[in-house]
Structure 1
């Protein structure tokens, strides 16, 4: 099923994924598809797109959408659904007070959506209980910025990353998580080879391919590393004494703590060699144009805020802030994490970067909104919020645009909380997620491609997200849903007719009583009519009223040395390295892979994006794998006191011994056993409330399976039905159907019956093969000559040419020879298996690249691109290609 009434016009909009904020050109086609390209005029990406952005057109189908409101499991009309929401929230507040209700929202909402929801909760319901999944993403950056600068200000721009002579990437796998920024940096380094790049990360990620130095430090030892750096800067005479004296406070206290941390102490805490530490310290000390980029590896920690301030301390001490090519730079993980911060979308904020604990700010907001009951104190942060739901303190919860049953730590406890909650509202795009299963009322929201509003990227650049598809079914924009509920609850001030009206109010509030006192000010964008709003070009804030025509030139904060504390000075924060953490056998680290996004509600719809990594995995160092008798294709069980996940083993020396990395993306819909959020502990940073998702104490053991399986199917498997009898199942879209990895702990009594159940056609014709020696069995099922699926079962992990097998789903007819080859699981010699997909854009596999290098036809990434196109589109796979070339070259005789 596709959208209808598409037009042929081309629309400029903004990408739906990470905080880079890439511009996109979308052109609906006559056949209902949408052509996606990078916007060459957008200053975030200049036409570049990553693999996820390039594949957005493949995620727009309606087959899994919720298109009508659902009340208690049945379809209903909007009036019934919204009346139920408004009535239940009103009665709950009347009976138990405003803090008995809460909203939990998403950095994938637009700024206008966020603004209306925040106004409703904080201004009219009167509670601070509105938080967002940005709490899991950037809360420690927010807290660190406010401590240091007096405001949540990201001071720099993307141009600073390109102009720096030293780029320090810490806790940030840019190559996979922010690929377009990474490609901009790679291009800059190619032009300016003297640029040095230091990557600080426990794992050797794809980003390390560009690094001059990789510091594989122990998990959560960043504070020690940067405290030691501050000490080293002082010892080497690199402190900018004049800058410190004129523009900062607290330096002596911060340095006093740092001086207790010598290089040998840093080495002991980080596990790094003294020489490597000194090399990094010397580079930082004597490179004036230095930028430090950080992301989730810094933020998602029980000491995340201190990590942020330890980094900022080093930049303040050297005066490397507010100038081109310098500064600390936080890159956001979601498309509108920054916009949510601008409107006060988290529990401890007011709108327009005002402080909820500041009486003057509360008065400004309350007067502007004519709000009768403005919240006077922060609400519950994400982990606390769901604990309050579980405890029964919060009795009505509205979840918008996010999937906390997968993404939150201690996720099974979150599921239990929702199960026990008297009233759960979910506004979302998809009918079936791990979270919508708990909704008493499910509201169909507009999706990317249908939404109209703005987002703000990591460099504070506001871009328009414009609709290029009609709203399907009865879906509505999130801001309109919140506004309608507010009106039904009897609140005035929610009579918006368009997103432009919401944005205008947001812009006017940002300027109210500001006059330069607050960093966030877009008063110069107030007063836009519908045409002006529709035509708004990407622009960085601040855009102050009367400052002239908004431009797109880079804007940088703190060039004048003035900050947002009352005295205009920045603050050093004296931070101490945390005590050694868990003594568990392993430290569990969670994060992203290249081609998937959050809980796969969007990327899981694209076969191309599933081709690179089709199932969940646990990345283990070879020493740990040998010690635990784990082989590369085995399944492993990763456990903590909170839960257990079963995933595939990936044995690689990219990982540190004693650490295990498991990606966050897989859900009940795609791999029921692999919800790693259920394993993650709920420990949070005491300042920011951000969960420490990078450092759960865990155990790892080989999962003892009685049999393994691989299957290809024409139709989506019902994992709810078949998964109950399986210990492990992972499903992925692939070409013209689906691919499955399977395993069970009990011996199979009837392999043919399992194959027919997977194919969902008990009357299908089957062809079969059984190897009496190994016990392997293989089945292919046909109905009226059409292939329904093939199933391969074995006592050991199934070895076959997976990509070749998957490609057989595209064939229309199978003769005897084709059936034999299908059961064999491999093609003819003249059709070699491409191997695991490396380049998603052009479906190029590792075997193709390896063969090209081994033949002597290519010895560089550029040569591979010229021959196979791999790496020539989005560039996300270039670092992986470089690694393959290096390994293949070693095998080629001199």
Structure 2
């Protein structure tokens, strides 16, 4: 076995990301057993981030014992990040949930399921269908997501359910729906390689999506790379232009760039006239965002603003705009995302190679959650409030239409508010750990203490949320079950079962089947016998939708084709050649999903940041991903000894050297980080990568969200993790 060399955290910053995906063995990532025959393999999709890399799983006696990246998969082309290399290792952790736990004691499945149904039925019967809710994930297969949402809402009679995709992608969903008429990321990963200008806003793919960054490095067009981010991230270090704006001044900046593009004659008037609405009103609106005003509000000089705008104008028609959590997790996130969309529309940079207004998704199956989790949208991107939609889904699923709710769920934060007020009495958490990840963590956990019944269904019994549960249901993990994921570029990929789950742990799919049986509603789901059977149901739900996948011939086609991007309806499938149709983007014909087939310019003035720096709390805390070896709450990546060598042993606070001098803090000193909500201790890391007045903490530490201020975008209801007022003191 290859062992990883001893390394300090600093050695893993920035540029080494490229080495990690090119020469992984150099860093102890993975081992390829030479004794395996070439045909003793199968293929899978990685279950960590939204990149959706293809992996070759090497088998012995029918079980995966190791893996290598798939050189033929069109996403990653034979590369993998540290998390992907260690995907199998984390399945063997000693804290796996192996039996149901009732009040902390092991019980048989029969006892657990009877208790689950008795408690949930009692709460729903006594307090009504709004008294219980489920909160799910972007980590399980979409066939499982669909089963959960349908079981809870159609079978058990719950009204409310949301997912932790609310923390990462709700903004992009809302922005696309309002601007394009449907939640439709338009791009394909080939656009990373075909752009003349790439603009990354609130995105750090070098660390968060290393394989996407590898695709950028493969661009042979000598592109300009523009990064808009308050921090000098690893991606910003590699960029040709970095604009270190004041935190959450991005909306003002984008309006200012639009102003300059219009002033300099950089708009594509033909595209605007033929394919968009509301541009004249938008142009009048941004007339007030002069360079002087924007410079004062963002901290970017007038000269820099002009250079930014001129780069876009000269780069037309091959400019691509990319964003992720730095935009989505803001108090005015939806309008910020739409300001990015507006730039793509006004310059005609959409529907063509190397272009697009492109949201980079977070979780491996957040796109699947957006279409099929049955939370805020009815299956297949339909509307709960539309009778015709309910009737269509009823016909497709075989569920009586009267069992389908005629109103959408409350959003995540609203479900929690209802629990705080006593209206929601029970919550069922599936493959998510919000006691760690939810904003203003202490309030979240106080709310959990009020609930009559907490169920956690997870592969580990040691998560912060599982420790608070009355009932823990042990679930199989990635590699221990089968189903499909949808990645950022809309590619549907199949992942097989290649390992046995430990103990009595079951695939989430089979847990849902058992609950349906014990609840007494299994007759509603009599055809939902396997993930592929549910896939066929969901195909019918998508018919004539923008996400129509009726042309996919089941899991086998996905296995053979290297994944398939939606849409693929029957007519498209008749022309589909898996050898030549690996990459497909949306809107090549200039037609969008609105009633008049035109995209819409949407805008609002910037509003005041809720938790501003002030005398007692003079610094702005920004949170984000720490290293490419870490994933979210580290529920899985924290189990890998190899990945542990790539992260600091202690929580590190990035502090500007000038602020440190004023505070008399030296590098490596223990410091207290204090907000009005909580405080924690970290080690100071002095740097110029954060501006004076700003500090940065990685989101993976289980204490960081005790500090964050809970504000929410009014349209997407997504939490704003990127701006909280704090102070720093010597410990």
Secondary structure of the corresponding residue to residue 98 of structure 1: coil
Offset of residue 126 of structure 1: 4.3
Query: What residue in structure 2 maps to residue 317 of structure 1?
Result: 346
CA distance in 1, matches of 2:425, 2:245: 44
Secondary structure of the corresponding residue to residue 480 of structure 1: helix
CA contact (8 A) 1:39 1:46 kept: yes
Query: What residue in structure 2 maps to residue 523 of structure 1?
Result: 550
CA contact (8 A) 2:440 2:677 kept: yes
Offset of residue 533 of structure 1: 6.7
CA distance in 1, matches of 2:175, 2:426: 32
Offset of residue 28 of structure 1: 4.0
Find 2:638's aligned residue among 578, 584, 604: 604
CA contact (8 A) 1:132 1:345 kept: no
CA distance in 2, matches of 1:537, 1:87: 44
CA contact (8 A) 1:343 1:351 kept: yes
Offset of residue 21 of structure 1: 0.5
Offset of residue 412 of structure 1: 1.2
Query: What residue in structure 2 maps to residue 437 of structure 1?
Result: 467
CA contact (8 A) 2:493 2:558 kept: no
Deviates most, 167-176 or 542-551: 542-551
Cα deviation per residue 1:825-874 (whole Å; 9 max; x = unaligned)? Answer: xxxxxxxxxxxxxxxxxxxxxxxxxxxxxxxxxxxxxxxxxxxxxxxxxx
Offset of residue 122 of structure 1: 3.2
CA distance in 1, matches of 2:267, 2:62: 63
- Aligned pair count? 679
CA contact (8 A) 1:144 1:306 kept: yes
Secondary structure of the corresponding residue to residue 497 of structure 1: coil
How do 1:68-467 residues align onto structure 2 when only pairs under 5 Å count? 68-188=99-219, 191-193=220-222, 195-288=223-316, 289-346=318-375, 348-369=376-397, 370-371=399-400, 372-467=402-497
Secondary structure of the corresponding residue to residue 548 of structure 1: helix
CA distance in 1, matches of 2:41, 2:508: 24
CA contact (8 A) 2:202 2:228 kept: yes
How do 1:557-636 residues align onto structure 2 when only pairs under 5 Å count? 557-581=586-610, 582-584=612-614, 585-594=618-627, 595-613=629-647, 614-636=649-671
CA contact (8 A) 1:635 1:702 kept: yes
Query: What residue in structure 2 maps to residue 792 of structure 1?
Result: none
Offset of residue 222 of structure 1: 0.9
Offset of residue 104 of structure 1: 0.6
CA contact (8 A) 1:125 1:373 kept: no
Offset of residue 434 of structure 1: 0.6
Evaluate the alpha carbon distance shift between residue 535 and residue 33 of structure 1 in structure 2; reply closer, same or farther with a 3 A threshold.
Answer: closer
Structure 1 segments of 4 or more deviating over 6 A?
30-33
1:47 aligns with 2:72: no
CA contact (8 A) 1:124 1:374 kept: no
User: Aligned Cα RMSD in Å?
Assistant: 1.9
Cα deviation per residue 1:255-308 (whole Å; 9 max; x = unaligned)? Answer: 211111001111111101111111001011221100011000000001110110
CA contact (8 A) 1:504 1:525 kept: no
Evaluate the alpha carbon distance shift between residue 56 and residue 326 of structure 1 in structure 2; reply closer, same or farther with a 3 A threshold.
Answer: same
CA distance in 1, matches of 2:110, 2:536: 28
Query: What residue in structure 1 maps to residue 674 of structure 2?
Result: 639
Query: What residue in structure 2 maps to residue 684 of structure 1?
Result: 712
Offset of residue 368 of structure 1: 3.1
Query: What residue in structure 1 maps to residue 565 of structure 2?
Result: 540
Offset of residue 34 of structure 1: 2.5
Offset of residue 327 of structure 1: 0.8
1:27 aligns with 2:62: no
Offset of residue 392 of structure 1: 1.8
How do 1:656-805 residues align onto structure 2 when only pairs under 5 Å count? 656-667=691-702, 675-703=703-731
CA distance in 1, matches of 2:332, 2:180: 19
CA distance in 2, matches of 1:490, 1:520: 33
CA distance in 2, matches of 1:268, 1:123: 53
CA contact (8 A) 1:633 1:648 kept: yes
CA contact (8 A) 1:127 1:379 kept: no
Offset of residue 177 of structure 1: 0.2
Find 1:475's aligned residue among 505, 508, 511: 505
CA distance in 1, matches of 2:135, 2:373: 13
Offset of residue 344 of structure 1: 4.0
Secondary structure of the corresponding residue to residue 410 of structure 2: coil
CA contact (8 A) 1:344 1:353 kept: no
Secondary structure of the corresponding residue to residue 309 of structure 1: helix
Deviates most, 654-663 or 29-38: 29-38
Deviates most, 415-424 or 331-340: 415-424
CA distance in 2, matches of 1:564, 1:142: 14
Offset of residue 507 of structure 1: 1.3
Cα deviation per residue 1:378-432 (whole Å; 9 max; x = unaligned)? Answer: 2121222222223221111100101100000011111122222101111001121
Cα deviation per residue 1:85-104 (whole Å; 9 max; x = unaligned)? Answer: 12222221111111111011
CA contact (8 A) 2:558 2:564 kept: no
Offset of residue 359 of structure 1: 3.1
Q: TM-score, normalised by structure 2?
A: 0.90
Evaluate the alpha carbon distance shift between residue 55 and residue 618 of structure 1 in structure 2; reply closer, same or farther with a 3 A threshold.
Answer: same
Secondary structure of the corresponding residue to residue 598 of structure 1: coil
Find 1:485's aligned residue among 494, 510, 515: 515
Offset of residue 504 of structure 1: 1.2
CA distance in 2, matches of 1:360, 1:255: 38
CA distance in 2, matches of 1:648, 1:16: 32
CA contact (8 A) 1:111 1:453 kept: yes
Q: Which has the higher contact order (CA 8 A, sep 6+)?
A: 2
Cα deviation per residue 1:103-124 (whole Å; 9 max; x = unaligned)? Answer: 1111111111111011123333
Q: TM-score, normalised by structure 1?
A: 0.74
| Structure 2: gaps of 5 or more residues | 1-35
Deviates most, 681-690 or 78-87: 78-87
